[in-house]
A and B are shown apart, each in its own frame.
Chain A
Amino acid sequence: MAILSVGAETISLDGGRKSRGNLTKARIRWVVAALLLVFATVGGRLIQLGATVTDSTIEGVARDVITASRPPILDRNGLEMAVDIRVPSLFAEPRRIIDVEEAVHKLRTVLPDLDEDWLRKRLTGDKGFVWIKRELTPAIEEKVFQLGIPGLDFVTESKRFYPSGAEASHVLGAVNIDNQGTMGIEKHMDDDSLALLQSVGLARGNDLTPVSLSIDLRVQHAVYEQLVDALARYKAIAAAGVVMDVRTGEILALVSLPDFDPNNPSTLFQDYNGVKNDRFNRITSGIYELGSTFKTITMAGAIDSGKVRITDQFDARFGVRFGRFTIDDFHGKHRILSVPEIYKYSSNIGTIHVMQAMGKDDFRAFLSKIGMDQPVPFELPEMRKPKVPAKFSEIVAATSSFGHGLSVSPLHMVRAVAAFVNDGNMVVPTMYKRSEEEARKTYVPVISPSTSEEIRYLMRLNALEGSGTRMNKIANGYRVGGKTGTAEKVVGKSYSSDKTLSVFASAFPLDDPRYAMVILVDEPQRENAQSGTTAGWNAGEVTGRIVQRVAPMLGIAPDFSEMLDSELVPPELR
């Protein structure tokens, strides 16, 4: 055993069973290791897959945003003014296209207006997504499918469609190719809430609640038709009109010509008769010297101040001198005039005296009270600030009293007229449907109900005996009353007598006022040799024709009894 004791280690021999057991253990270990490796690989791959962010955007825009829909827009009677239609848009995945030349060639057989080089450049490369052409028709989609080019596919987009075409263009506005509102009520809807809805992913699908506007498409159509007729009849450069419900402040119609096609928004930027950027909304973003229609405002302010009574008389024999200038009357009577006569004959001299009796600072304060120096709170985003001097000098106050030297929008005027006939309650105008109770909450009294009655009398008197007779002849029976305004336009540095802006600010039926209207005809010419160019001949007649068309639609029956008119006369004048 000496060897054993000298040797380093004990040599032990395993038995057969033991060595087999060891081998099995080793194998199990290998298998476990292999399994672990497999599971680790699977697990790792899972984590990798989970961590990858799939690029679902289309050229940087989320797919959802592109397919986002907009709520339908209805008029007050439920007729669609704007709807979404689902249209296919063609896109390509360049990395999947095998033969670019073949694809270009084949695609151009269906879409020949695509530029060959542009298309080739578009389809070459390793991009995952490129638009080829958006908003196609289902027929073209079918044809492209039949070409069988790999790497081309369609995505269904929502496209805005305006069935009324240009008729309500300035009301509705337009959307861009990504279905975002760019102007009009479409933009307002976006600014209001829709953009938020779309961004959080709620405005998908077709079940959006429709938006009801205050517009009555029948009235809108009648106004549109008459204004288009006026453009041709009086060879005018522009025309515009707005109809408002005096009690609720709802705008029933708003037309401004020249206009554009909202289905093709680029028409907005087309020149009109060689004039650039002429297709803007003249009712909200056009500001004008509205001429004699302002006399209604001067009268309302003066009578309401209590310093002028309807029975007062003013000396209109001589023109009013301010330094070098003398302000005189157009077809003046040059005698002593009563207040209704001043209004009826549209006497500038008389109106200046009325304003002076009220006091120029009070007159300026009254203009602020009826919101003439601030933009009208309104939904349409196209707005321009009116130009009203912050402080009136003697001469500016004098010219302002008959509507020169200050510029406001026709919307300002219609709102003021509506307030004057609505018992002196001024309402906030709106494009959305609104009930009278809701509107009442926004009422601001600007003149007293008794002044309102006297203004109604004056407006009706002007239609019966003054410059509104041509209008009243056409709209006979509907008790319309209003004031004409023939404002000379500034050409260069001075007022021009042959370039005028004709305005008619009216309300009807005056025995129970419901609607106010302002019609604008820009640079009208004589209809024929016998007719005149003042507002009564053009804006007045247009008003008459519109009332004749729309009054029955609005449920106003004609009534010829003279009692209605005689009841409007204030007791002092009976």
Chain B
Amino acid sequence: MIRMLNIILFCTTLAALVGVYGLKYAVEDIASEKTALERKIDRQTGELSLLKADWSYLNQPAHVGPIVARHQEALALLPTSQEQFGRMDNLPMRPAAPDTAALDALLNSLDAGIDPIEQLIEAN
């Protein structure tokens, strides 16, 4: 009976030994993997911070302003003057119905071979 118990205990110990040994190495592997990942994250957050800084630099009025100034002549850029602003209520009201009579007259004259717009251009 005792001998049997001893054998069982011995086997368990052996199994535990192998298990712990394996676990130790597995943990070491995971730990080094974790360190590698952490390093990677660290490097990437570093790179990200640089990219973010770059992005915000490129978006700054201080950066965009000189570019505008450089191309001002080529693109004929000017600050918006007050007269260039309009309001919705400054727009003329839409006509209540399409002016069919005028349209008919235009089509008839076109059919007759007279182009009123061409005449306007020639008159000028």
Contacts and interface: CB of A to CB of B under 8 A. Distances in A.
Contacts of B87: 557
A321 B85 CA distance: 52
Contacts of B16: none
A221 B49 contact: no
Interface stretch (B52-60, B95-103, B113-121): B52-60
A554 B52 CA distance: 27
A167 B62 contact: yes
Contacts of A83: 49, 52-53, 56
Given A79-B59, A163-B56, A552 B85 contact: yes
Contacts of A552: 80, 85
A549 B68 CA distance: 14
A360 B77 CA distance: 54
A124 interface: no
B26 interface: no
Given A156-B42, A548-B82, A163 B53 contact: yes
Interface class of chain A by DSSP? mixed
A57 interface: no
Interface string A545-572: 0001100100001101000000000000
Contacts, number: 70
A221 B79 CA distance: 14
A84 B82 contact: no
A218 B53 CA distance: 18
A235 B50 CA distance: 39
Interface in A220-261: 220-222, 224-225
Nearest to A558: B82
A181 B82 CA distance: 42
Contacts of B92: none
B22 interface: no
B49 A218 contact: no
Contacts of A87: 46
A161 interface: yes
Contacts of A557: 85, 87
B61 A221 contact: yes
Contacts of A220: 61
B19 interface: no
A141 to B, nearest CB: 10
A167 B47 CA distance: 26
A85 B62 contact: no
The CB with the most chain A CB atoms within 10 A, among B42, B50, B60, is that of B60
B46 A548 contact: no
B52 A80 contact: yes
A150 interface: no
A217 B79 contact: no
Interface in A60-83: 79-80, 83
B54 to A, nearest CB: 8
Contact of B56 (A79, A167, A558, A560): A79
B62 A206 contact: no
B60 A549 contact: no
A558 B85 contact: yes
B60 A79 contact: yes
A86 interface: yes
B50 to A, nearest CB: 5
A44 interface: no
Interface string B30-59: 000000000000100111011011001101
B49 A206 contact: yes
A164 B49 contact: no
A218 B45 contact: no
A201 interface: no
Contacts of B42: 86, 156
A225 B68 CA distance: 13
Contacts of B49: 83-86, 206
A30 B47 CA distance: 63
A429 B60 CA distance: 25
A363 to B, nearest CB: 39
B51 to A, nearest CB: 10
A476 B82 contact: yes
A504 interface: no
A265 interface: no
B46 A217 contact: no
A163 B82 contact: no
A306 interface: no
Contacts of B81: 548
Contacts of A163: 53, 56-57, 59-60, 62-63
B82 A86 contact: no
A175 to B, nearest CB: 15
A86 B45 contact: yes
A426 B20 CA distance: 74
Nearest to B79: A549
Interface in A155-171: 156, 161, 163-165, 167
A417 to B, nearest CB: 23
B82 A85 contact: no
A478 interface: yes
30 contacts: A79-B56, A80-B53, A83-B52, A83-B53, A84-B49, A86-B50, A138-B46, A138-B47, A156-B46, A163-B53, A163-B57, A163-B59, A164-B62, A165-B60, A165-B62, A167-B60, A167-B61, A167-B62, A206-B49, A218-B61, A220-B61, A221-B60, A221-B61, A221-B62, A224-B62, A478-B82, A548-B81, A557-B87, A558-B82, A558-B85
Given A85-B53, A549-B79, 17 more contacts: A80-B56, A80-B59, A83-B53, A85-B49, A85-B50, A86-B46, A138-B46, A163-B53, A163-B56, A164-B60, A165-B60, A167-B60, A217-B60, A221-B65, A224-B62, A548-B81, A558-B82
Interface of B: 42, 45-47, 49-50, 52-53, 56-57, 59-63, 65, 79-83, 85, 87
The 4 closest A-B pairs by CB, nearest first: A221-B61, A80-B56, A86-B46, A558-B82
